Structure 1
Amino acid sequence: MIKTIRPLTLAVSFALMSVAAQAETVKIAFIDPLSGPFAPVGQNQLKSFQTIADLANQGKWAGEHKIEVVGFDNKGSPQESLTQLKAVIDQGYRYITQGNGSGVGLALLDAINKHNERNPGKEVVFLNYAAIDPDMTNSKCSFWHFRFDANSDMKMEALTTYMAPNKDIKNVYIIGQNYAFGQAVSRAAKDYLKRKRPDIKIVGDDLHPIAQVKDFSPYVAKIKASGADTVITGNWGADLALLIRAAKDADLKANFYTYYAVTTGVPTAMGAAGADRVKIVGNWMINADPASGKDIVEGYKKKYNDDFYTAQTHSSIGMLAQAIKQAKSTDPVKVAFAMEGAKFQSLNGGVMMNKVDHQLQQPLYIGTWTKVDGKAVKYDQENTGYGWKMDKKIDAYYATQPTSCQMKRPGA
């Protein structure tokens, strides 16, 4: 007996085959330190990206398209990053992400701009999740670059707004890594404090080589001798962990206002000694609203015995996937246009990609390192028994900064 295939069944089969044929795997090259002193941070963030990519694929955020994030070790070097960029472009990658170091970010941005100008039809998009030098969305802004973290000026605006009413702050010491980001933090701290609290004295302003100082005790001795009651630092990774450890060993009583005390290794270095004295400004805090990321945080901890702390991985993957779906294409040019002005519900609430400069607008949080109490501090870090207690949520418009961006768009 010969079975007849119904026309409707045949049409459905062809439609499914067509969708399957069009579905692609969008590969993102993660170019950041996977070896060297900043490797623990890079490895944590690579796994964070892969965790969110898995979530996106399960939820079909990009429709039938899949997203895959693959790590490439740049050893923290701008030159090695350019070598890796060439390699991934040769392998067919059209999207890259990077965040650890604005010096690296600026080098990649320049190279991507030049590549895209010389190779129409083979454009690359840069998803910047943490390189926060303000120039990247001001004088050096680019259609091909999207930043998902708040830039250093936005964070300093939030931090100094929080600091200004505290009359106990009288003497501030600024210390940071000697590269674009550290220099931007120093400038903004002095400018914004002068505007908001002209009575505060800047009693020290040090920049040190990035990833080269093994003993911060001489710097801490200078801070102690200055009479500082407050330290502002943009240090991250090993440079912050070693600074905090030296401050603890010297029994420095000053309060620390940081950008990155959440990063791998720093919580362990602080331990109980940092309680109620180390503060942070960031774009997300799990203890502020545990429901917003509970499943991700707990699943990540169970799988890796590590902490998920980089919310930008969620907004980066989420906005990219949403743009792919909206554009009905994985083509970088079409996707980039779809990301401009896009809104997305991320872990820290509603966020928006500013069309003018490609700087994500999002709320910021100030928190204090505090002992877990099961209420205000439910989740700790690095099994220390301490975590971040939210002091203040600052709505996006408070931290918004003017931009000098004069963006050139394809076809303009």
Structure 2
Amino acid sequence: MFSRVLKLAIAALSVAVSAYAQIAAPAPQAAQASAAQPVRIAMIEGLSGPLGNAGEAVHRNLVWAIERVNARGGLQLDLRRYDSKGQTEEALAALRAAIDDGARFIMQGNSSSVAAALIDAIDKHNERDPARRVLFLNYSAVDPILTNEKCSFWHFRFDAHADMRMAALMRVLQEDRTVRSVYLIGQDYSFGQAVLREARRQLGALRPDIQIVGEELHPIGRVKDFLPYAQKIKARTAEVRGTSAVITGNWGNDLTLLIKAAREAGYDGKFYTFYGNALGAPAALGAAGVGQVVAVADWLPNVPGAQSEVFYRAFRERFPRPEDDYVHMRMQLMMETLAQAIQKAGSTDATAVARALEQADVTLSGQRGRMRAGDHQFQQPLVVGVMARQAGDGEKDGVKFDVEGSGYGFRVIRQLKAEQAEQPTTCQMVRP
């Protein structure tokens, strides 16, 4: 009996070591150089200003993913960063500079309006200058229009779009019969508008009994004091008996400041969020957020499974500072997909790599994603989590991993397979 248990333990340890080796690439100085010419990648993102923390979080994810690819050998990726300051004109200038610098793969995500402008600019550039065609890999810009009416052969999205994320949240809200009123608030640009529009539609279809007591859009990245908004939310939701909820797609400091203001105003309702699982939001709410803040994501640190745990521990080992704790599985899959496509195409020619990307099917640490050729929308599982305390003595529903050293993390309450999260598209793809 002891021998059999020992053998099982050794086998489990072997699986863990193998999984760790798959994702725990060494730091840049330890990675082996390749004789091949490095493939230049340009990250165009807001790295300064009020939403700069979100851009820096992206950069850490891309660095880690590239270290893993480079450590395997056979392909060397070279990441260069360009600060758009969150502005469309700055992003377009950065695009021109990146192309002149030799980049053929452009990555951006933290603004759907910027992404839309980049798609238009890249479409025109690729038509005008076929010898220097580029591809746009989008990791976070989730306005549904980008893979529907504005779909482009040169654009690939690796995040679930806003309607997909909202549908996942609604699967939880639909069953939460305590919620009787909802306040909708978002950032005043294409993505924020899309979130509110889809929230109205899905609430009407799935929970017509819920009263929408307020709807508001605010300037993105410019509000310093959300207390007036929070006081209005509290007053409006108090007019309806029962539990209330805020639905928001806010991200970065716009979410953190909103949540802080809600706590200061004494709002005790729930938050259904797209990005409430990090970047200061859990720490801002503290104990008041336990059981009250819901977030949807492509992956969360407390997703059950040994491979998921090994993946997360490897990231925390690479970036040990608590404030650097925001790992995106989709960004890791994006880089794995690009590496796979370049190697399959046998070149960095944008057209050849795009055709390989259309057929991409990639797995990392138990998470699988595939690219849908019809609209270039990545299809992957989604999860919904609720904020909880980190496990400790007497903590019945505690989670193993907290967020940013806050003592609070997210317990997974719903998992959707890729085919459950998938939605139809209206894309009319024009191919070269």
Instruction: Give the alignment's TM-score, normalised by structure 2.
Output: 0.87
Distance verdict in 2 for CA 1:105–1:380, change over 3 Å: same
Q: Which residue of 1 is the match for residue 254 of structure 2?
A: 239
Q: Within 2, Cα distance between the matches of 1:172 and 1:224?
A: 11
> Residue deviations 1:75-133, cap 9 Å, x none?
00011000100000111100010010101111111111110010112111000000000
> Residue deviations 1:156-201, cap 9 Å, x none?
1111122112211111110000000000000000001111111111
Distance verdict in 2 for CA 1:290–1:36, change over 3 Å: farther
Deviates more, 1:205-214 or 1:272-281: 272-281
Equivalent residues in 2 for 1:349-364, closer than 5 Å: 349-364=367-382
> Residue deviations 1:134-156, cap 9 Å, x none?
00000000010000000000111
- Check conservation: 1:220, 1:246, Cα contact below 8 A: yes
- What SS is found at the alignment partner of 1:97? strand
Equivalent residues in 2 for 1:13-412, closer than 5 Å: 23-60=36-73, 64-227=74-237, 229-289=244-304, 291-304=306-319, 305=321, 306-347=324-365, 349-373=367-391, 377-410=399-432
- What SS is found at the alignment partner of 2:342? helix
- Check conservation: 1:57, 1:67, Cα contact below 8 A: yes
Distance verdict in 2 for CA 1:347–1:358, change over 3 Å: farther
Q: Within 2, Cα distance between the matches of 1:292 and 1:184?
A: 35
- Check conservation: 1:255, 1:278, Cα contact below 8 A: yes
Q: Within 2, Cα distance between the matches of 1:190 and 1:208?
A: 17
> Residue deviations 1:343-375, cap 9 Å, x none?
111356221100000001111111011101178
- Check conservation: 1:173, 1:204, Cα contact below 8 A: yes
> Residue deviations 1:192-240, cap 9 Å, x none?
1111111111111100000011111111111111126011000000000
- What SS is found at the alignment partner of 2:224? coil
CA drift at 1:264 = 1.8
- Check conservation: 2:69, 2:75, Cα contact below 8 A: no
> Residue deviations 1:349-407, cap 9 Å, x none?
22110000000111111101110117861111111111111011012222222211011
Stretches of structure 1 that go unaligned for 5 or more consecutive residues are 1-19
- What SS is found at the alignment partner of 1:34? coil
> Residue deviations 1:16-47, cap 9 Å, x none?
xxxx76x2311211111111111111112101
Q: Within 2, Cα distance between the matches of 1:220 and 1:91?
A: 46
Q: Within 1, Cα distance between the matches of 2:68 and 2:314?
A: 11
> Residue deviations 1:249-268, cap 9 Å, x none?
11211100000113422232
Distance verdict in 2 for CA 1:164–1:52, change over 3 Å: same
Deviates more, 1:235-244 or 1:304-313: 304-313
Q: Which amino acid aligns with 1:382?
A: E
Instruction: Give the alignment's TM-score, normalised by structure 1.
Output: 0.91
Aligned residues: 387
What CA RMSD, in Å, does the superposition of the two structures yield over aligned residues? Answer: 1.6
